[in-house]
Amino acid sequence: MTVTDLVSYEDALAAYDPVMGLEVHVELGTKTKMFCGCSTELKQDANSQTCPTCLGLPGSLPVVNATGVESAIKIGLALNCTIAEWCRFARKNYFYPDMPKNFQTSQYDEPIAFDGYLDVQLEDGEVFRVEIERAHMEEDTGKSTHVGGATGRIHGARHSLLDYNRAGIPLIEIVTKPIEGAGERAPEVAKAYVAELRELIKALGVSEARMEMGQMRCDVNLSLRPNGTQKFGTRSETKNVNSLRSVERAARFEIQRHAAVLSSGGTIIQETRHFHEEDGSTTSGRVKEEAEDYRYFPEPDLVPVAPSREWVEELRATLPELPRLRRNRLREEWGISEHDMQSILNAGAVDLITATVDAGADSAAARKWWMGELARRANEDGVELAALAITPEQVARIAALVAEGSLNDKLARQTFEGVLAGEGDPDTVVEKRGLKVVSDEGALGTAVDEAIAANAAIADKIRGGKVAAAGALVGAVMKATRGQADAARVRELILEKLGVEG
């Protein structure tokens, strides 16, 4: 990795205006691949989900997956796009071993959806409109494993191993128009756009859009132009930036790198770049000897797609409430700030919290657990919240046990731990681990009496009016009951027994 000189972000923005283009690939959650009937289910068993078509065997032919087209139209509609009355697939010709036919079946000058926009909300509530150029249908490639090189990279590998289970899985590529006018907020806009798009895709039910699983991948194209000028500068294309945070970091890094090159009198070369999670930097991809010439032409093995207007309107009628509007509604219902809502969105917790509330929890409790204890666990395990082994119903049940006083926060955390460890549902975990709050007044009273006897000096202080000192006695009782007491009730009992008003 070469060390790249950077200028500070502030200095870069003082001289230059960033223009971005974002290309997002979304793997659809269809049952089968885009052009054949092979399952898309994730399997460890390599090359177990292939057929003549997705292996590109001689003689094989593609047939379009109707649900793939339907999903593309839904995405197009949700992005306020025009849906083509007639469009075709095209072949994008280039050789690469992970692509069985050595052309990708994609769309070229006739995308199924075009000219739309997506409004994204920044953390302070400002709404920024991102114009959409197009959304088109295509297929994914196989997966290569590089053997013999360091850390599975291509460089230095002796050979590669190919698994084509992923080859042919439907992809929708969504391309923005150049995003201008975001200024210093460009990286933030990039991140908010991808986050919003992910919410939209999930709301439409067309994909789980899990970035960590590669179901949603983003390319960040960025160029700078001197402030006050119109003409776009030369862009770099940073490929496969696969988390929200990385999208923001990649944009930021490229702004700083471009500024450094430009301000020192250099020129930016148009190239693809790779993003590195470790330090947030990008490095140059292989410089190609000659410009790619994909020799697109209409795919002769497929006939045109001409979605009837009736079908399009039917699909429009099924669109769910747009995530941003829904979030604003929820934000008001939950009574939280824009900032808090943004954090919830970034954590991928909107649906989880909503489902927990639907399961009977109070919204504050639902937010508290998902954004607190559970977010911490997800972070530790390096997974998304939704991937945790706990359901919103289970979270709601734990919240209910806390609300009725059967659990305190500490016991609730232990219950979460048990559920996540696969010990069963919350009630089972509470039962098995013996986590019930000690609510037997007699036993509690004895514990309080013992604590008072053992801490006479503190008890005197409390009698003398220093109510705050009661905390120490509460702690002693909690310790004696191994945390299984209701702390509020313990405090009441202490004050009662010492004849002090709370």
- Closest residue by beta carbon to Mg ion: 173
CB of 27 to another protein, least distance (A): 14
Rounded CA-CA distance 497/347 in Å is 46
Instruction: Report the residue from 39, 234, 263, 346 that binds another protein according to the rule CB under 8 A.
Output: 39
Instruction: Report the residue from 2, 3, 10, 159 that binds another protein according to the rule CB under 8 A.
Output: 159
31 binds, among Zn ion, another protein, Mg ion, none (CB under 5 to 8 A by kind): another protein
CB of 91 to another protein, least distance (A): 5
Residues contacting another protein: total by CB under 8 A: 76
Rounded CA-CA distance 244/191 in Å is 5
Q: Is 318 in the site for another protein (CB under 8 A)?
A: no
Contact 185, 122 (CB under 8 A): yes
CB of 169 to Zn ion, least distance (A): 10
Indicate if the alpha-carbon torsion angle 326, 328, 331, 332 is positive or negative: negative
Query: Which parts of 204-243 interact with another protein (CB under 8 A)?
Result: 239
CB under 5 A: which stretch of 7-15, 46-54, 220-228, 395-403 binds Zn ion?
Answer: 46-54
Nearer to Zn ion, 38 or 179 (CB): 38
Nearer to another protein, 148 or 226 (CB): 148
Tokens representing residue 261 in the block:
């090159």
How does 101-140 read in b/e, with b if 16+ C-beta sit within 10 Å?
Answer: bebbbbbbebbbbbebebebbbbeeeebebebbbbbbbbb
Q: Is 27 in the site for Mg ion (CB under 5 A)?
A: no
CB of 294 to another protein, least distance (A): 8
Task: Please report, to the nearest 10 degrees, the dihedral formed by the alpha carbons of residues 88, 92, 98, 100 taken in order.
Answer: 60
Contact 91, 102 (CB under 8 A): no
Q: How many CB atoms lie within 10 A of CB 20?
A: 23
Q: Is 38 in the site for Zn ion (CB under 5 A)?
A: yes
Element (H, E) at 208: none
In the block, tokens 């439409």 appear at 204
Site map (CB under 8 A) of another protein, residues 58-77, x = contact: xxxxxxxxxxxx--------
Q: Is 173 in the site for Mg ion (CB under 5 A)?
A: yes
Q: Is 54 in the site for Zn ion (CB under 5 A)?
A: yes
Contact 160, 146 (CB under 8 A): yes
Nearer to another protein, 58 or 228 (CB): 58
